[in-house]
Structure 1
Amino acid sequence: MIRITHSIALDESELREDFIRASGPGGQNVQKVESAVQLRFNVLASPSLPEAVRARLITLAGRRLAASGDLIIAAQKFRSQERNRADALERLIALIREAARPPAPPRRPTRPTLASKKRRLDSKKQRGAVKSSRAKPQPD
């Protein structure tokens, strides 16, 4: 079991790892070794996630969520397969923790106080007076 929060834990059988060859430069080794990892987690079919967390995770996943409901996390930052596996798992855990956090309360708009409106208008008048004092005198 992979512990996400105190109330959410994923079963390791829910995760699927596919190993692929990493793209980009890397010399002769990159053509031979499949060091990149694609971690797949089916968000829609997972019994471990509460409905509220599942809905927020779908929103957070964005383009990483496939049509089949699989959340795909690709990791190819490191040269070794083990470090890429750990990196992909850490990113999945961080994403689920982010989704498990309760949403922020909605912002309630406030109105400026009368004193703040008065200060703003006074400063505008003062600034306008400074600018008008710089102007050339008008001919009579």
Structure 2
Amino acid sequence: MNEVIARALALASESFVTASGPGGQNVNKVASAVQLRVNIYQLRLTPEVFHRLKGLAGSRLNGRGEIMIDARRHRTQEANRADARERLAELITEALVEPKTRAKSRVNRVGKVQRLAGKKVRSTVKANRGKVDW
């Protein structure tokens, strides 16, 4: 599990852009926001994990198969860089977790009879509504 995250962080490319938000005039001068890009085809994931990652990435996944994470929460470049890497690791960790399969519930004979009787009562109530024919 950790090897996939390590591989993703090694393959990630970072670019720094000017950010909006806190920082005053410093925001206009310093490129503190980080754009982290990782190509999911290069991660060598199993098909199940690959499809889960695609679903989790949503709009962060572009047409070239790159997940783009934009981090601009903090004032410093290093803090934004760490935030972007952490968010990528969380995304991949969540994709690696296999969802539990839902166990089909079993209803016994008495439960089935009660359910059908309730449906019958409800249908007669609804059938008795409407115009009254004098």
Give the structure-1-normalised TM-score.
0.70
- 1:24-103 pair list within 5 angstroms: 24-47=21-44, 49-103=45-99
Structure with greater helix share of residues: 2
Q: Report the 3-state secondary structure (helix = DSSP H, G, I; strand = E; otherwise coil) of the residue aligned with 2:43.
A: coil
**Shift of the alpha carbon at 1:55?**
1.6
**Shift of the alpha carbon at 1:25?**
5.0
- The runs of 4+ residues in structure 1 deviating greater than 6 Å are none
Q: Report the 3-state secondary structure (helix = DSSP H, G, I; strand = E; otherwise coil) of the residue aligned with 1:68.
A: coil
Map Cα deviations across residues 31-83 of structure 1 (whole Å, 9 max, x no partner).
00100001000012333x23321121011100000000000000000000001
- 1:122-133 pair list within 5 angstroms: none
Identify unmatched segments of 5+ residues in structure 1: 122-140
- 1:113 and 1:87 map into 2 onto residues whose CA distance is 55
- 1:74 and 1:7 map into 2 onto residues whose CA distance is 23
Give the structure-2-normalised TM-score.
0.72
Q: More deviation in 5-14 or 88-97?
A: 5-14
Which residue does 1:22 correspond to in 2?
Answer: 19
**Shift of the alpha carbon at 1:112?**
7.5
Q: Report the count of equivalent residues.
A: 113
**Shift of the alpha carbon at 1:104?**
1.7
Q: Please tell me the residue identity of whatever aligns with 1:95.
A: L
Mark the structure with the bigger radius of gyration: 1
Q: Report the 3-state secondary structure (helix = DSSP H, G, I; strand = E; otherwise coil) of the residue aligned with 1:73.
A: strand
**Shift of the alpha carbon at 1:107?**
4.3
- 1:63 and 1:46 map into 2 onto residues whose CA distance is 19
- 1:80 and 1:31 map into 2 onto residues whose CA distance is 13
**Shift of the alpha carbon at 1:11?**
5.5
